[in-house]
Structure 1
Amino acid sequence: MEAENQEIILAKDDEDLIGYLRLEYLWSKYPYIGLIMVHPDYRGKGLGKRLLKYVEEHLKSKGLKTIYSSSQVNEADPQEWHRKMGFKECGIINGINEGKIGEVFFVKEL
């Protein structure tokens, strides 16, 4: 894993990209997982957890104490992953996505 511009964390298997996490900052202040993707062949093997842990350690080293993320309200698997990783639900914005689908937000203490 490596950080590029402290925003994209890449996971590689030899030279192949197998996953990544995009870190953003809400209002230029609050760390937020904009996207986390793991290649289907590597899902369920802890790669997403390792990407998250890497980012958490990076944020802790900068003195940050929380990280935020979100999922559409109709995405049960991503919501379960967040809860499994220690995130707590902290709010919902109704109708924000295409098709008027809401977004559930999560926070995790570092």
Structure 2
Amino acid sequence: MYKTPRHPIWITLVNGLYGLLFSVNQHLVSDWRVEHKFDLYYYTGQATQTRPTRLSVETRLGRSSHARTALQKSEEEKKIPPLERCIMTKWFGAHIDWNGTMPYVT
């Protein structure tokens, strides 16, 4: 993922599926204070997707982890959907809410 574009739009390749990840907030890539809580939209162009999926991203809280051992942590990380892992290359440890949509990029 290209981490700092001029406009908040990224082309993704997750599990062989191209997608478009974008924000309607132009300041997302120019003002770090906007990066605390914001929405991203994801669109794949698949026939089954009629509108972009809205993902709410919270960077201040971070991901909660209940793992006590390295093995548990590894197993917990495997459960993170690939699109979320892609988003976390830019916003490490972000909590991502799919707003009722099932994480369909698995």
Q: Give TM-score, length-normalised by structure 2.
A: 0.30
Q: Which has the higher contact order (CA 8 A, sep 6+)?
A: 2
